Amino acid sequence: MKFLFICILAFTSLFATGNTNNSIAQKELQKQIEKEKKYAKEQKFYQKKEYDLKSMEVNPDSLSSIPDTDDNEDDFDMDDVY
């Protein structure tokens, strides 16, 4: 991904002539930098470097207050729908 970023930077610097083209190149460069930052953040998440699941843990003592369901409630018969 860094190679792509360097290639884009090289192209924008080669074709950026004049003040208007330079400003366009700077805008494109900023867009690519933002995409690179987003990609880096996503990769940290996908590689399990930023998981924070401590807030989602369940207190085992609170599970006793949940009522049990009957096994018959899980059966679903499509004949009842029609």
pLDDT digits (tens, 9 = 90+) for 11-61: 766 665 556 677 888 999 999 999 999 998 888 878 877 677 777 888 888
Distance between CA atoms of 30 and 64, rounded to whole angstroms?
54
Across 52-81, average pLDDT: 75
Domain boundaries of the chain, sorted by first residue? 1-49
Q: Which residue has the higher pLDDT, 63 or 79?
A: 63
In this prediction, residue 62 carries a pLDDT of: 85
Q: In 3D, which of 4, 22, 5, 1 has the Cα closest to residue 13?
A: 22
Q: In the prediction, which pLDDT does 33 show? A: 93
Q: How far is CA 49 from CA 42, 53, 60, in A?
A: 10, 12, 27
pLDDT, residue 42, reads 85
